[in-house]
Chains A and B, each alone.
Chain A
């Protein structure tokens, strides 16, 4: 079932939580709403669910599920499945009763027979691999198990769309990884339309077909994870999606200067701020004709596939992060206090005042 939002806005008292938003989510898509807290992502999800009402003025917005206009449909009749941030399991009911709840509260004429309910609940519990815990109370389950029960409960009523609010937020890192993969597989198997909210860029990029990046009640960009990372539309998206190093300076005759550091750039004269990802910083023992950026290593973290190195210099307001291959790390005998030269492989630049943010990247 596709979801179409037209002109959806929301005020809380005097603050605008959402500026008028248009959004199309295709049938079978898994879409992540990504943004910092206060960006309006949860509000948007709750409006789709019908847990909040969108503003009716100045102009009423519209929410369509497929061809069905659900703008004024109560949450209970909207046929959604909602997975809450802290699961919101009914703590006085067993796992089985929690999953069966949505089926047992159906009006008599739509309600399946008790045998059928039982069969369906156990099918779902099997799917989330919890059939052996059917008689437990929620308090007796781990966080990850509670999350799976809450998902099975939401799916039991065969919703048109599945909505998840920070589904993995309260779990520890390892469980989060497993559940993420498991949810992706489940989504691919059952092929329902899902929208989830997260503040974790890694989670959004790994899990979603498309990501909606939000800030301050606005949609900043909607794209596939790949496009989003490679071609961020503006500075906010660029900065939010990963670690960023800043290089501020004044350009004159094609050379950007900042203290005793300088870099050849193909830009007009004026003040500039260039942005670099950690993996776009190469380290060498010598400067090059293109760049002279002297730095000192202040911290080294050799965990993972690459070594993370923290760099400081007089001309830097904030330290830089660089990621170095283990081979290079060993070749250069990197250690704390060592002086090296940074060489940008590529940099980015966003014009603040431009209406359509312009991004330039060039290989140095």
Chain B
């Protein structure tokens, strides 16, 4: 079969350019992270990772991610179900609103939460009189993390559920299945991989969020420091090796995310080939 651009010279030239640019632009930074982290040996890397403050930052980051995921999951599934299974006025508006966190600068995201729930905000001041502090504490970090990660699950599910249509669910209902049974036994098996990928993306972003979290966290070492904030502090303190040790942990999560995505895609393409 002939296609445009299949002349050998063109082919080689374009592939060569793509590989070279990707190596310089994407691969080199990835290699640099680990090279820096281990530049003074494994022992130093280990010492940096097992440092009390680093361990605390890891713990806080994981707890925040673990709390974010179920909330985003419920919201994402509900929204996807709503916009793909029903038609109602305002459906398109809902779908546009869900993109807001992608467009809003993380710093602005942090700021609007700070303004509302901070000591001077109209909710914050009321909370303050009741001795509840959300900002510069972990609840604030959780809130902005939910803000920046909430679109991922829905964005993965909506195109898939739209493509699948609602015929199977309708069939289940005509066979007498209740709403929950229909969801658990018909819908969920069809969307579980997209759901899993949405969770993986949510996790990656929750673990790595920097801009929004740095506005609301206060970055108190051993208290409200997440891993990205921790590595920034180390970097500003000219402890590059320490910063890159934390960076390497985060990069590892990123690599696992990429591997999981490649695996899920491979699985999907194999299933397509069978059917």
Contact = CB atoms under 8 A, between A and B. Distances in A.
Interface of A: 50-52, 74-75
B270 interface: no
State which size class the interface on B falls in. under 10
7 contacts: A50-B2, A51-B1, A51-B2, A52-B1, A52-B2, A74-B2, A75-B2
Contacts of A51: 1-2
A347 B1 CA distance: 45
Contacts of B2: 50-52, 74-75
A40 B244 CA distance: 60
A26 B104 CA distance: 68
Nearest to A74: B2
Interface in B1-45: 1-2
Interface of B: 1-2
A51 B1 CA distance: 6
A317 B2 CA distance: 48
A189 B226 CA distance: 80
Contacts of A74: 2
A147 B2 CA distance: 23
A50 B1 CA distance: 9
A65 to B, nearest CB: 18
B5 to A, nearest CB: 13
A3 to B, nearest CB: 19
A74 B2 CA distance: 9
Contacts of A52: 1-2
In the A-B complex, the 3 residue pairs with the smallest Cβ-Cβ separation, listed nearest first, are A51-B2, A75-B2, A52-B1
A52 B1 CA distance: 5
Nearest to A51: B2
Contacts of B1: 51-52
A65 B117 CA distance: 80
B30 to A, nearest CB: 36
A163 B1 CA distance: 17
A3 B2 CA distance: 21
A124 to B, nearest CB: 25
A51 B2 CA distance: 6
A75 B2 CA distance: 9
A289 to B, nearest CB: 58
Nearest to A53: B2
A122 to B, nearest CB: 29
A75 B3 CA distance: 11
Nearest to A75: B2
A74 B6 CA distance: 12
B248 to A, nearest CB: 44
B10 to A, nearest CB: 14
A75 B7 CA distance: 13
A76 B57 CA distance: 63
Nearest to A12: B1
A44 to B, nearest CB: 15
A101 to B, nearest CB: 14
A51 B3 CA distance: 9
A169 to B, nearest CB: 20
B211 to A, nearest CB: 40
Contacts of A75: 2
A50 B2 CA distance: 8
